[in-house]
Amino acid sequence: MKRISILLLAIVALGACQTKVKSPGEDVSSITIKYTELDRPTMFRIACDRFDKYFPKPYTLNVVSKPAIDSVMAVLNTLERMEDEEPDVRAKILITDKSNKTDTVCVGVASLRYKQATYKTPEKLLVMIHQ
C-alpha cells in the first residue's frame, strides 16, 4: 500500500513538472481577415497602407474560434523568408492578442509582410482566406 502511495505521488509530481505544449494561437484573442479577389487586376502595386483606400469595401472574415485561430497562426509560424520586396496586397490579416495589441500581416499572392520581414505566401494561407 505504501509503495502504491509513493508511486501515485511520483506520478502526480512528474505530471506537474512537465511543460505544457503551447498552442500556436494561445496568446491571440481574435483574427480579422480583410480581403479582395486575389487575381483582381490593378494598374500598380497596392501597398499595405493603401489597401483600405483602394479596396474600401473588402470582404471581411472574423476568426474567433480557438481551432481556427490555431490553424492560421500555425501557418504564420512556418513562413519561409525571402528577399525584401513589397507585396501587391490583396488581403490584410489583423491579429489581436489578449492585451489588445494588433499585428498586421499584408498578404499578396506571391509574398507577404509580417513583423517587418518579407515571406513567401503559403498556398495554404491563400486557401484559408478564400474559403
pLDDT tens sequence across 58-97: 999 999 899 999 999 999 999 999 988 889 999 999 999 9
pTM score of the predicted model = 0.80
pLDDT tens sequence across 92-102: 999 999 899 99
Record the cell numbers describing residue 42, joined without a space: 490593378
Going from N- to C-terminal start, the domains of the chain cover: 21-129
Q: Which helix (H) or strand (E) holds 22?
A: none
CA dihedral 58, 43, 41, 63 (to 10 degrees): -30
pLDDT tens sequence across 5-47: 444 444 555 555 455 567 777 889 999 999 998 887 888 899 9
